[in-house]
């Protein structure tokens, strides 16, 4: 991960999973501004953020400002159009897991490259993922590790990514 | 840094995730909250805050990091009505919430 000197902007089009956005230069205390330059909301936060717990940066709004920032900032784009595609097996999965098994054959709508949501949206424990591959034995492998724990028998949805864009600019106070 | 805002002390030691502040409700749409908000960490530990529409807790892995002495400034409609700000830190921290109709800092 590169870090940028003061004043160097970084423009990010985040995926639906946590996407590294910015790490300020650690040589000085930084002030950073996060401006949404796209058409959709972008969520920012830590390395395991989701659309549920991320801080929304709205399109057309004022930039979000952080003074004294020293960590790494991650961003992700929202998802829309959720449609139930199936159910997970009764086995719970934990953070870092890269594959889950469904109770039935993986539907064609969850082919490699498809955006999906793991966990019921009735609660707050869901997250978006991208399918990397599937098997005939009902297993889905994701392009990135899960960032939340999920109870067994959870719902899996197909979804559509609504990609956003943010510009991050760092300065020094 | 000088901020023209009304300040409240929202939490002094949140080693477990806790609600720090609830944004006043507004009868308009979700993001029409008209006041600006500043969340300042008086330290000495790093504070992690969550303010998502679905956030129910803050965590060190998911939430926005505010180092000791740092601030998160949300201006012009970035704060949802009735939104709850959650916070957690690894040790003692002092959280100050500042709000006003037009927060500016120098």
Instruction: Read off the tokens for A121.
Output: 């949206």
The domain total for chain A is 2
Question: Do A71 and A137 share a domain, yes or no?
Answer: no
pTM of the model: 0.86
Shortest Cα distance, chain A CAs vs residue B35, angstroms: 13
Q: What are A36-61's pLDDT values in tens digits?
A: 999 999 999 999 999 988 888 888 87
**Domains by residue range for chain B, with CATH:** 6-100 (2.60.120)
In whole angstroms, what separates CA A108 from the centre of its chain?
23
Query: Could you tell me the residue range of the domain that residue A20 belongs to?
Result: 10-78+162-172
**The domain spanning residue A60 has which CATH number?**
2.60.120
Q: What are A84-123's pLDDT values in tens digits?
A: 999 999 999 999 999 999 999 999 999 999 999 999 888 7
| Helix and strand numbers, DSSP H then E, in chain B | 0, 8
- Domain for residue A74, yes or no? yes
> In chain B, whose CA is at the least distance from the CA of A59?
B78
Q: Is A146 on the interface with B (CB under 8 A)?
A: no
Question: Do A118 and A142 share a domain, yes or no?
Answer: yes
CB-based contacts of A108: which residues, under 8 Å, 6+ apart? none
**E-strand spans in B12-94?**
18-22, 36-41, 47-50, 64-66, 71-74, 84-89
**E-strand spans in chain B?**
6-11, 18-22, 36-41, 47-50, 64-66, 71-74, 84-89, 95-100
- Domain for residue A4, yes or no? no
- Domain for residue A122, yes or no? yes
Question: Do A31 and A101 share a domain, yes or no?
Answer: no
Instruction: Read off the tokens for A170.
Output: 């760092």
Q: Pick from A97-101, A167-171, B3-7, B23-27 the range whose average pLDDT is largest.
A: A97-101
User: What percentage of residues in chain A have a pLDDT greater than 70?
Assistant: 92
- Return the minimum-mean-pLDDT range out of A65-74, A125-134, A136-145: A65-74
Question: Do A70 and A85 share a domain, yes or no?
Answer: no
Q: Which pLDDT does position B76 carry in this prediction? A: 65
Question: Do A37 and A65 share a domain, yes or no?
Answer: yes
Is-contact A87 A156, C-beta < 8 A? yes
- Return the minimum-mean-pLDDT range out of A36-45, A124-133, B1-10: B1-10
- Return the minimum-mean-pLDDT range out of A22-26, A78-82, A138-142, A164-168: A22-26
- Domain for residue A2, yes or no? no
Question: Do A99 and A157 share a domain, yes or no?
Answer: yes
Contact criterion met (CB < 8 Å) for B65 and A65 = no
Classify residue A26 by its DSSP letter: T
**The domain spanning residue A90 has which CATH number?**
2.40.30
Chain B partners within 8 Å of A40 (Cβ)? none
- Domain for residue A124, yes or no? yes
Collapsing DSSP states into helix, strand and coil, what is residue A109? helix
- Residue A126: pLDDT over 50: yes
């Amino acid at each position: 991960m590169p870090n940028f000197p003061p004043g160097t902007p970084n423009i990010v089009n985040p995926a639906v999973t946590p996407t590294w956005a910015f790490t300020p230069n650690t040589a000085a205390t930084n002030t950073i501004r996060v401006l949404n330059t796209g058409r959709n909301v972008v969520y920012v936060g830590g390395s395991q953020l989701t659309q549920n717990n991320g801080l929304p940066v709205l399109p057309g709004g004022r930039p979000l400002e952080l003074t004294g920032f020293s960590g790494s900032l991650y961003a992700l784009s929202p998802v829309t159009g959720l449609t139930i595609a199936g159910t997970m097996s009764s086995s719970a999965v934990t953070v870092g897991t890269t594959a889950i098994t469904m109770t039935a054959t993986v539907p064609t709508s969850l082919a490699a490259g498809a955006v999906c949501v793991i966990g019921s949206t009735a609660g707050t424990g869901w997250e978006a993922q991208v399918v990397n591959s599937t098997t005939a034995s009902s297993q889905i492998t994701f392009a990135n590790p899960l960032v939340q724990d999920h109870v067994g028998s959870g719902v899996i949805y197909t979804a559509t990514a609504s990609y956003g864009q943010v510009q991050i600019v760092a300065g020094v106070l | 840094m000088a901020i023209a805002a009304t300040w409240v002390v929202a939490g002094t030691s949140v080693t477990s995730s806790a609600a720090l502040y609830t944004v006043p409700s507004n009868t308009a749409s979700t993001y029409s909250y008209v006041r600006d908000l500043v969340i300042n960490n008086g330290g000495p530990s790093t504070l992690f805050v969550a303010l998502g529409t679905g956030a129910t807790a803050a965590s060190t892995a998911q939430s926005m990091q505010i180092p000791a002495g740092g601030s998160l400034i949300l201006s012009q409609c970035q704060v949802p009505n009735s939104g709850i700000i959650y916070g957690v830190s690894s040790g003692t921290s002092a959280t100050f919430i500042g709000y006003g109709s037009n927060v500016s800092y120098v």
